[in-house]
Amino acid sequence: MTITPVKPAEARRLIEAGAKLVDIREPDEHAREHIPGAANVPVGALDGLDTGDCAVVFHCRSGARTDANASRLAAAAEGPCYMLEGGIEAWRRAGLDVALDRRQPLELMRQVQLVAGGLALLGVVLGFLVNSGFFALSGFVGAGLMVAGATGWCGMARLLKLMPWNRRMAATLA
């Protein structure tokens, strides 16, 4: 089965006609912002997806994740299969409803990006202003990002998951 790209207006028409909308992002991303009525089924949990023979519209944030997993998504759907071009970002730009819960923390990967960038910048500034040994902080952060990219394991993400604001979010998702 193939997956057909659709623009937001067409996706909305399909959903109104009975298609199931499936958000393939991670639960922390979905909790912060989602299209109302979308079921959250991350790519890693597609085996549990039950669509029956109804049409399915898959989406992610920008469309890149959906496109990268198109064959896997098409295989998981039992009926006609579509992907929202441009993801939730295109949906929002088209003026369609998006539920945003600012009480939820930023997505974990955005938190990692902010902390890693801040620590790298801090290491450079302190290296120039205080002691050149602080450059090692930037090197350590860079090495951690390289390990995360090469292995898929991110120590900073694991540490950030333990922070109180992220534990609260996990409790609301359970």
> Annotated catalytic, 60?
yes
Domain map (residue ranges) of the chain: 4-100, 108-173
Q: Which of 54, 60, 81, 154 is catalytic?
A: 60
Question: pTM for the whole thing?
Answer: 0.78
Superfamily, domain 4-100: Rhodanese-like domain (3.40.250.10)
pLDDT grade, residue 45 (50/70/90)? confident
pLDDT tens column, 55-80: 999 999 999 999 999 999 998 888 89
Percent of the chain whose predicted confidence (pLDDT) is above 90: 77
Mean pLDDT of 131-138: 97
Strand order, beta sheet including 20-23: 4-6, 81-84, 56-59, 20-23, 39-40
